[in-house]
A = this chain, B = another copy of it.
């Protein structure tokens, strides 16, 4: 976690006060998600987490792709970027490196993050950039009205698979662990308290954190609705899981039957890319440094050309 550079401080103004309630993190418009959509729970948990961390709206940048879930930044009172389908992570990475004092949170759906955006996830994880990635995993393409996603169950009938999905779903938790993410968790939209805690820890974690959240699509995925999850959800915390044990983490993450686990699967303290980058050592965000070359720098460059 870090605090954005304060212009107010610089120009001697009184500091913008920290929000007094999670409600102050409500955005300009109300969500247009379907009634009952899992994404409401995620938005609420995020707003509460930001509030409980004492962050101010301008210290946060929330970057999303395209999808129902990716509409989230518009519903959050924080700086936001609603970018391209599948591309939230590179944009978030660029923004974090451009101003590493920002708390950068990426949000989106399972299609966005694990389908078209899968390669960025793998590489962002191994780079271990200090951003938090919240995936609202509803195991379906919601915005495009219901086709399989990379996490849809085998056999699932959708508009693109009327005879049933033939593809084996990916497991975002085990993949992220293997690809080097340093904080890997799973939340459940209907347990906002638990999710809030996961988000808080993820934001505080210095490095790349992925939280895959079961966030049911009540309109297009009737296989994995709240009724499906409710009896199955178990918490890793209740099982004494050790987040440094990757084997146990993978094993627990693979469970998909009567018991499905949520909680923190894996965490480690490999240094984040932004902390390793010598260019950032100076402290001032790149975006606030003076532009161009000094006369000395220029002369040195030219002398090498001769």
Contact = CB atoms under 8 A, between A and B. Distances in A.
Interface of A: 115-119, 122-123, 126-128, 150, 163, 166-171, 174-175, 177-180, 247, 250-251, 270, 273, 276-278
B163 A180 contact: no
B118 A122 contact: yes
A13 to B, nearest CB: 37
Interface centre among A118, A166, A273, A277, by most B CB within 10 Å?
A: A166
A251 B250 CA distance: 12
Contacts of A163: 278
Contacts of A174: 178
Contacts of A127: 166-168
Given A119-B118, A163-B278, A247-B247, A126 B180 contact: no
Contact of A175 (B117, B179, B247, B250): B179
A277 B115 CA distance: 21
B128 A168 contact: yes
Contacts of A175: 122, 175, 178-179
Contacts of A251: 247
